[in-house]
């Protein structure tokens, strides 16, 4: 079986030899035809400084086909979270940029469209892992249909599913134990 998506974050960029390994892996994945999915997953205390973190995160930004970033990460990278900030971060090869808003849902940006998808209202117990669950849900949909970002209706359906993954995750304690199965998400969405 060959991978169709290579997902990575910025934490691997902090120190060698992980940095050069991550950069080599992204090149190999791209040459192999994989979709490159990037979630900066900002953890400022792990970096030597905020400036080094910004520089590191942006050093591989233009390699990604799909980027999932939070409102806080957009503000950290650009100084604000408006459409002008998003335009600064959108690059020529980017197919899909998702801005997650926690309980507010998410915004999406493609070359053809932009919009938002509301989240599912639930009682949150522990938000740890919600972003990872969201990404897993989105990438699950993208693996089934690698061009879903080209049709807004399909993209919105995928984001409803991804939001469902995040919503179910926050309803239980612990990032890993709370991750839902595909079946559980589909049942929840009904």
What's the confidence (pLDDT) of residue 83?
75
pLDDT at 1 over 70: no
| Average pLDDT for the chain | 92
What are the tens digits of pLDDT across the range 126-172?
888 899 999 999 999 999 999 999 999 999 999 999 999 999 999 88
pLDDT at 20 over 80: yes
Domains located in the chain, CATH noted: 1-94 (3.40.1190.20), 109-190 (no CATH)
What's the confidence (pLDDT) of residue 37?
96
How far apart, in whole angstroms, are the C-alpha atoms of residue 126 and residue 132?
Answer: 13
Residues recognised as catalytic: 132
Helices assigned H by DSSP within 15-151: 18-31, 50-59, 71-78, 83-89, 130-144
Measured over all CA atoms, what is the biggest interatomic distance in the chain, rounded to whole angstroms? 46
Which distant-in-sequence residues (6+ apart) come within 8 Å of 147 by Cβ? none
């Amino acid at each position: 079986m060959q991978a169709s998506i290579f997902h990575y974050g910025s934490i691997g960029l902090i120190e060698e030899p992980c940095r050069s390994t991550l950069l080599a892996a992204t090149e190999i994945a791209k040459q192999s035809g994989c979709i490159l999915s990037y979630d900066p997953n900002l953890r400022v205390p792990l970096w030597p400084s905020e400036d080094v973190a910004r520089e590191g995160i942006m050093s591989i930004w233009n390699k990604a086909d799909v980027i999932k970033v939070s409102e806080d990460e957009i503000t950290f990278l650009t100084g604000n979270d408006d459409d002008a900030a998003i335009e600064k971060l959108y690059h020529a090869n980017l197919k899909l940029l998702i801005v997650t808003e926690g309980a507010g849902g998410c915004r999406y940006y493609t070359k053809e469209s932009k919009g938002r998808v509301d989240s599912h209202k639930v009682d949150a117990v522990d938000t740890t892992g919600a972003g990872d669950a969201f990404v897993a849900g989105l990438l699950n949909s993208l693996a089934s249909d690698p061009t879903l970002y080209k049709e807004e209706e399909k993209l919105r359906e995928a984001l409803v599913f991804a939001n469902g993954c995040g919503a179910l995750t926050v309803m239980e304690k612990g990032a890993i134990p709370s991750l839902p199965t595909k079946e559980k998400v589909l049942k929840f969405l009904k």
